[in-house]
Structure 1
Amino acid sequence: MDHLEHLDKHLVDELAQVARETIREELREQSRKQRRTAMLYAASGALALYAGAAVALAVGLALGIGLPDWAAALITAVILGVLAYVLRGAARPHRHPADHEAGYAAAHGRVAGGTPPVGPTGGLGMPYPPMPPTAPDAQAPRPDDIDPESPHHRA
């Protein structure tokens, strides 16, 4: 019987080793593919950066034909700044001013127009309980505090 137990343990150890090697090889293959993809994305980003710089240079040179060089460079910089601002705005989720005010009122526990506050996921309530207006007094006993020395708690 001990011999069978030894074989079982040996078989379990061998299966665990095969499973570890298989998982290790699979992870190695996946990381190799992800590394290649990341390098291609990085190269694409670098080339896009240089292409954008070339376009900015072309715009500046075209403006420089009829304007002083400093004015052409300034106009190109303003164009790039406006494009950056527009792209940043496109990346952010849009909120209407009325939603912003309702969110502020709900976050501060205020109810506007008799409607309950709406949480960030669209449900009723707030994501966390409101803060009390003043800090609780640390010395004041709470009603749920139990004094172990009181006579009715002695054994």
Structure 2
Amino acid sequence: MDRMENLSKELSDDIARIVREALRDELREQTRERRRSLRLHAVSAATALYAGAALVLGLGLVLALGVPDWGAALITGALLALAAYALRRAARPGHTPHAVAGDPYAAADGARDPRAPGAPPSVDPGGPGAPLVPPPIPPVVPPGMPGTTEQPFPPQRPDR
């Protein structure tokens, strides 16, 4: 019986060692691929930065043909600031490109984002994987408006 326990322990240790080595090798390979990809992205970003600088310099030189040098620099700087602002807004999570002005949670079709503060809780009519839609909200008509049977105030009796 003691020999069986020893064999079982050795077998489980060997299996654990083999699995650890296989995982380590796989992780090394994945890390090597990710490092290579990261290096290529970094070089690509640096190249794009230099290309952008060359284009901005060219824009400034073209503008300097018609306006003073300081004006060309000012116009180029303003254009770059506008581009940076637009890119910053586009990078925000949940950004909708055609949002209604004044409501950061409204889309162009008037629908509101269900994650907006104060939005009603969402229901899942289609089961898992279906898009979440807010529950229907019945229209509210104040008393005394056309189409209602309620009077705005209770009728008063004349005092005599």
Say whether the fold is shared (TM-score over 0.5): yes
Richer in helix (by share): 1
Alignment of structure 1 residues 96-107 onto 2, 5 Å: 96=100, 97=102, 100=105, 107=117
- Tell me how far 1:18 sits from its aligned partner: 0.7
The SS at the match of 2:14 is: helix
Match of 1:42 in 2: 42
Greater relative CO (CA pairs within 8 A, separation 6+): 1
Q: Which runs of 5+ in 2 are unaligned?
A: 107-111, 123-131, 136-160
- Tell me how far 1:122 sits from its aligned partner: 4.0
Match of 2:120 in 1: 118
Alignment root-mean-square deviation, CA: 2.4
Alignment of structure 1 residues 17-56 onto 2, 5 Å: 17-56=17-56
Match of 1:61 in 2: 61
Q: Tell me how far apart the structure 2 counterparts of residues 61 and 38 of structure 1 sit (CA, whole Å).
A: 35
Over residues 54-104 of structure 1, what are the superposed CA-to-partner deviations in whole Å (9 max), with x where a residue is unaligned? 10000001111222111110011111112222223333412434674878x
Match of 2:147 in 1: none
Q: Tell me how far apart the structure 1 counterparts of residues 76 and 58 of structure 2 sit (CA, whole Å).
A: 10
Q: Report the count of equivalent residues.
A: 114
Q: Which runs of 5+ in 1 are unaligned?
A: 109-116, 125-155
Match of 1:78 in 2: 78
